[in-house]
Chains A and B, each alone.
Chain A
Amino acid sequence: MTKTYEIRKPIWCAGCGHFGVQGAIQYALQAAGIELHETLVLAGIGCSGTVQNNIGAYGYHAMHGRVLPTAIGVSLANPDLTVIAAGGDGDGYAIGGGHLMHALKRNANLLYVVMNNGVYGLTKGQDSPTAKTPLAAPEEDPLDAMMLGLSIRSTTFLARAITTRSDQLNELMLMGLQHSREGKGMAFIEVLSPCVTYDDTYSQWMNKVYDLDADPDYRNDDRGKAFFDLNRLIEQSLIPIGLIYHGEHASLQSAMLSDVTPFHSLEDQHAGHFNQHMEEVLSAYAV
């Protein structure tokens, strides 16, 4: 077998939540039987943005905040690949926040994992948009990306997990991966992944999570009720986790890709169909 890069050991602080997220991604890939060479893991910039080095698949390190448009580009250009985008809450909700709503709206076949620790780890602990009581603006409420996801009507898979409950995290990760692989669209999973160095929220979060998967009255196929329930839980200072929403909507691929020619192969370039098309295009300009 050809030798390729040596899989990196994570560079995270001992106890960082990101270990658990990586473990779940690896578990899901294995459980779904997806080959590493058919997988591209794209990551943002941040402590979280090193996960792609530790898995053994193809890896791409996007610019800060741009992981989603890049992942969408990949998923359209080669629909056979398994596309996993990952990053921090700063990467995804601050600098990349503008892309998030459009990605949710487009519903491309990919898995997006946000490692939410409420801080910017790599730049040493500044508040992120999900920080509970930001130092600079304590009156601001943190962003809740699941509420955002629910408000966009073309979302199809929204879930939140916490690294301390690894079984649930693994299970949701596998479901999300399969959702995207089956062409049902984008699976968006936010994982509460504490930063032990700059804001150790383990005990705080463990006490506040509310497991919707364990609530028989919760309906994850009812967008309106889900929104209502989440809002109520947040008002009670709880953090809802579990499969928050699961629905159906046409994926970006089903809307945009035709079956004309597999466009990532250029072998057809000088074949009849292409030439004829180009001649026709050109003839429109003939004098």
Chain B
Amino acid sequence: MKPAIYDISAAVDKDLLRAEVRDDLTVMVAGQGGDGSLTIIALLSKALLHRGYHIYRTSDIASRIKGGHAAALMRASTKPRGNLGDQIDILIAFDLEAVQKASNRLAPNSIVIFDSSREAMPPDLVPETALMIPVPFSRLSVRDLRRDLFKNSLGFGLLGRIIGLADKEVESCLRKHFKKLSSAQLEPNIKALREGQAFADKAGISGRNSILTLPAQAVENERIFISGNHAAAMGFMAAGGRFFAGYPITPATDVMNFLERNLPAVGGVVMQAEDELASINLVIGAALTGVRAMTASSGPGIALMLESIGHCGSAEIPIVIIDCQRAGPSTGMPTKPEQSDINMVTRGGNGDYPHIVLTPGDPEECFYGSILATNIAQRAQCPVILALDAVCHDNFTVPRFDLERARIYPGKRVTESDVAQMEEYRRYAITEDGISPWAVPGTRDAMNLVTGNERNEWGLVTTEPDMRVAMVDKRSRKIETVRPLLPKAVEWGDVNSPLGILGVGILGGVMTEAAERLAEQGLHFHCHRPRTLWPVLEDTIDFVNSHERVYVVEQSEGAQLAGLLKSEGARADKIVSILKYDGLQFSTAELVATIVEKERLA
């Protein structure tokens, strides 16, 4: 049996128009960069957000300006998910390559809308039971609207009908999305939308006669829809961050873009530097004056910054660094996610120095994590790194951030009047908690020397062995001082199970879903997601050692997370690594299958 193919002249089978209810839908729109795939997914996300669904949105784009394959994907679900569904329920393909790329992920009952302007669709690429709808997007768009550009609005018009959105709901989404366009630019888009709806009319898809339906969901708490990068940048601002310098790099540039738009209004400064060495040293300069300062980059840029990060650890300068990890080594695959900077951010740099690495799992954790990072940097007077993975560019629905929770902890700053009470002031005073009182330049009578050379309490360079040891020990004590403030791991699943799954960052979503499915098969797992990477917290080591077998899931070839845990006391014989480094995200099905197979052999 070949898949049913409907064209513009024929109506869709009546029994397909059953308005089948879905509570979980994964949609992919793909074509060449510039085809408008991202716009359709953005519009659809908006519509379904309004209907009360949790949305997870991601993209898969070539690192090029225009052209190159670009796919946008979105999952709408009644539960918060943070990953895509295993299978694509609806595909809009602007070219053949899009169908080829999606082919092995299409659900048996998927709906495939294909741009038939240039080529006919080879039916063997989609499941036999799929519904194929060829639509000459380009042709219609060029014929009636004179621009290829409006394909996206046209596609959205049709898509809205297919999933049972009301025409006015769809139009209001479009108007909101394009609110910055002039009416001359907006009108053709509205026309294109109607064109898409007219096309649906011809196929008999309208109103209640839709193929699918996603009923409106009640929403209890106010939600926002945001990426990890924007959330982290916002957290930095909320925690008093006022200086940012960066150098463009995918996928970190978004942090700089966000701050360029928003920081100057509160008197902050955002600078685009000449390279990452300059970025981090501009930030160090700002930090020296007591201003809360941050930079953001990705693997290659962080590698350049390592000397400076270690320097801040030594010289006791508080800065925040966001590392938006991408597939390495070297330039690697700029638009593909990975978690392979773990070695670098935890162990990189020369010498031993105190620092902290947090690894948030969703945009909400990025926001509060960034507040914490900004405050802890000040408290401990050391560098704090936020290691993000695909969470940096993917958008999630999360509860609206509570700005009231953003507190500012000044740490051990001393003012002119404090200094006036002191007999002497030593910048690097040896203290029990490892943190020295800090007077910034401009403070009368508290002149001091800041250096990355080993030094005495006054900041004067020394190599005297006892002082060296005292200084190193003092610096390492500060980490113990702030340790209680560091976010503990999140745990869920079957607490009594001897089997565990452990992973960080964005993998929380896929771990959750995999564990649910494994439980349905009678395999129960206890799950653990650390949120502090460095120092490795005891609860994580305990988790590994107190289970019989723990699957450590990570996106790196080198099993960097597993290696880190082992070096900090996790027993090697307990750990089974599951590694992925093909540039794609883990899917639940894949993780479930891998675990089932390994359990069978165990």
* A residues adjacent to B (C-beta < 8 A): 1-6, 8, 35-40, 42, 50, 52-53, 56-63, 65-66, 69-78, 80-81, 98-99, 102, 256-258, 260-264, 266, 269, 273-275, 277-279, 281-282, 285-287
Q: Is B449 an interface residue (CB 8 A)?
A: yes
* Interface residues contributed by chain B, number (CB under 8 Å): 79
Binding stretch for chain A, among B77-85, B278-286, B553-561, B580-588: B278-286
A72 near B408 with CB under 8 A, answer no
B441 near A63 with CB under 8 A, answer no
Q: How far is the CA of A287 from the CA of B307 in the complex (A)?
A: 42
Q: How far is the CA of A61 from the CA of B240 in the complex (A)?
A: 26
A2 near B424 with CB under 8 A, answer yes
- Beyond A5-B449, A63-B307, A261-B267, 9 additional pairs, beta carbon < 8 A: A2-B425, A3-B423, A70-B281, A70-B284, A74-B286, A76-B271, A99-B278, A282-B401, A286-B222
> Could you show 15 A-B contacts with beta carbons less than 8 Å apart?
A4-B445, A5-B458, A40-B441, A50-B461, A57-B447, A65-B277, A73-B282, A73-B287, A76-B271, A78-B441, A78-B442, A258-B267, A264-B291, A274-B266, A277-B265
Q: Which of chain B's residues have a CB closer than 8 A to the CB of A38?
A: 441-442
B285 near A99 with CB under 8 A, answer no
Question: Which of A37, A74, A260, A266 has a CB less than 8 Å from the CB of B285?
Answer: A74
A264 near B446 with CB under 8 A, answer no
The 5 closest A-B pairs by CB, nearest first: A73-B285, A61-B451, A77-B286, A263-B267, A5-B458
Q: Which of chain B's residues have a CB closer than 8 A to the CB of A81?
A: 289, 441-442
Q: Which of chain A's residues have a CB closer than 8 A to the CB of B200?
A: none
Q: How far is the CA of A69 from the CA of B49 in the complex (A)?
A: 44
Interface bits B115-142 vs A (CB < 8 Å: 1, else 0): 0000000000000000000000000000
Q: Which of chain B's residues have a CB closer than 8 A to the CB of A76?
A: 243, 269, 271, 282, 285-286
Q: How far is the CA of A269 from the CA of B505 in the complex (A)?
A: 30
Q: How far is the CA of A65 from the CA of B281 in the complex (A)?
A: 10
> Taking CB as reference atom, which chain B residue is nearest A262?
B267
Q: Which of chain B's residues have a CB closer than 8 A to the CB of A50?
A: 461
Q: How far is the CA of A274 from the CA of B241 in the complex (A)?
A: 12
Q: How far is the CA of A102 from the CA of B275 in the complex (A)?
A: 10
B447 near A58 with CB under 8 A, answer yes
**A53 CB to nearest chain B CB (Å):** 6
B444 near A37 with CB under 8 A, answer yes
Question: Which of B242, B400, B422 has a CB less than 8 Å from the CB of A263?
Answer: B242
B225 near A285 with CB under 8 A, answer yes
Q: How far is the CA of A40 from the CA of B285 in the complex (A)?
A: 11
Interface bits B450-474 vs A (CB < 8 Å: 1, else 0): 1111000011110000000000000
**A78 CB to nearest chain B CB (Å):** 4
> Taking CB as reference atom, which chain A residue is nearest B410?
A266
Q: How far is the CA of A253 from the CA of B236 in the complex (A)?
A: 23
Q: How far is the CA of A258 from the CA of B440 in the complex (A)?
A: 22
Q: Is B57 an interface residue (CB 8 A)?
A: no
**A27 CB to nearest chain B CB (Å):** 19
Q: How far is the CA of A1 from the CA of B273 in the complex (A)?
A: 41
Q: Which of chain B's residues have a CB closer than 8 A to the CB of A274?
A: 266
> Taking CB as reference atom, which chain A residue is nearest B277?
A66
Q: Is B293 an interface residue (CB 8 A)?
A: yes
Q: How far is the CA of A37 from the CA of B439 in the complex (A)?
A: 11
**B431 CB to nearest chain A CB (Å):** 17
Q: How far is the CA of A14 from the CA of B75 in the complex (A)?
A: 73
> Taking CB as reference atom, which chain A residue is nearest B46?
A287
Q: Which of A6, A263, A278 has the most CB of B within 10 A?
A: A263
**B265 CB to nearest chain A CB (Å):** 5
Given contacts A40-B441, A77-B291, contact A4 B224 (CB under 8 A): no
**A271 CB to nearest chain B CB (Å):** 10
Interface residues of B in 407-458 (CB under 8 A from A): 408, 410, 419-420, 422-427, 440-453, 458
* B residues adjacent to A (C-beta < 8 A): 46, 49-50, 222-226, 230, 234, 237-238, 240, 242-243, 245, 262, 264-269, 271, 273-275, 277-279, 281-293, 307-308, 311, 315, 397, 400-401, 403, 408, 410, 419-420, 422-427, 440-453, 458-461
Question: Which of A3, A35, A66, A287 has a CB less than 8 Å from the CB of B425?
Answer: A3
Q: Which of chain B's residues have a CB closer than 8 A to the CB of A78?
A: 289-291, 440-442
Q: Which of chain B's residues have a CB closer than 8 A to the CB of A269?
A: 240, 408
Q: Which of chain A's residues have a CB closer than 8 A to the CB of B419?
A: 2
Q: Which of chain A's residues have a CB closer than 8 A to the CB of B273?
A: 69, 102
Q: How far is the CA of A195 from the CA of B266 in the complex (A)?
A: 48
**B445 CB to nearest chain A CB (Å):** 4
Q: Which of chain B's residues have a CB closer than 8 A to the CB of A262?
A: 267
Q: Which of chain A's residues have a CB closer than 8 A to the CB of B441?
A: 37-40, 58, 74, 78, 81
Q: Which of chain A's residues have a CB closer than 8 A to the CB of B401?
A: 282
Q: How far is the CA of A65 from the CA of B284 in the complex (A)?
A: 14
**B267 CB to nearest chain A CB (Å):** 4
Q: How far is the CA of A70 from the CA of B287 in the complex (A)?
A: 10
B400 near A60 with CB under 8 A, answer no
Q: How far is the CA of A106 from the CA of B269 in the complex (A)?
A: 14
A287 near B50 with CB under 8 A, answer yes
> Taking CB as reference atom, which chain B residue is nearest A77?
B286
Given contacts A2-B422, A5-B459, A274-B266, contact A72 B282 (CB under 8 A): yes
Q: Which of A59, A69, A264, A275 has the most CB of B within 10 A?
A: A69
**A54 CB to nearest chain B CB (Å):** 10
> Taking CB as reference atom, which chain B residue is nearest A39?
B441
Q: Which of chain B's residues have a CB closer than 8 A to the CB of A281?
A: 234, 237, 262
A62 near B281 with CB under 8 A, answer yes
Q: How far is the CA of A6 from the CA of B424 in the complex (A)?
A: 11
A69 near B285 with CB under 8 A, answer yes
> Taking CB as reference atom, which chain B residue is nearest A253?
B269
**A101 CB to nearest chain B CB (Å):** 8
A1 near B291 with CB under 8 A, answer no
A282 near B265 with CB under 8 A, answer no
Given contacts A81-B442, A282-B403, contact A260 B450 (CB under 8 A): no
Given contacts A73-B245, A73-B285, contact A60 B451 (CB under 8 A): yes
B269 near A2 with CB under 8 A, answer no
> Taking CB as reference atom, which chain A residue is nearest B286?
A77
> Taking CB as reference atom, which chain A residue is nearest B317?
A60
Q: How far is the CA of A60 from the CA of B282 in the complex (A)?
A: 13
A37 near B458 with CB under 8 A, answer no
A277 near B266 with CB under 8 A, answer yes
A69 near B281 with CB under 8 A, answer yes
Q: Which of chain B's residues have a CB closer than 8 A to the CB of A71?
A: 285
Q: How far is the CA of A257 from the CA of B443 in the complex (A)?
A: 22
B224 near A287 with CB under 8 A, answer yes
B450 near A36 with CB under 8 A, answer no
Given contacts A69-B273, A73-B285, A277-B265, contact A282 B442 (CB under 8 A): no
A263 near B266 with CB under 8 A, answer yes
Q: How far is the CA of A285 from the CA of B226 in the complex (A)?
A: 6
Q: How far is the CA of A273 from the CA of B336 in the complex (A)?
A: 39
Q: Which of chain A's residues have a CB closer than 8 A to the CB of B425?
A: 2-4
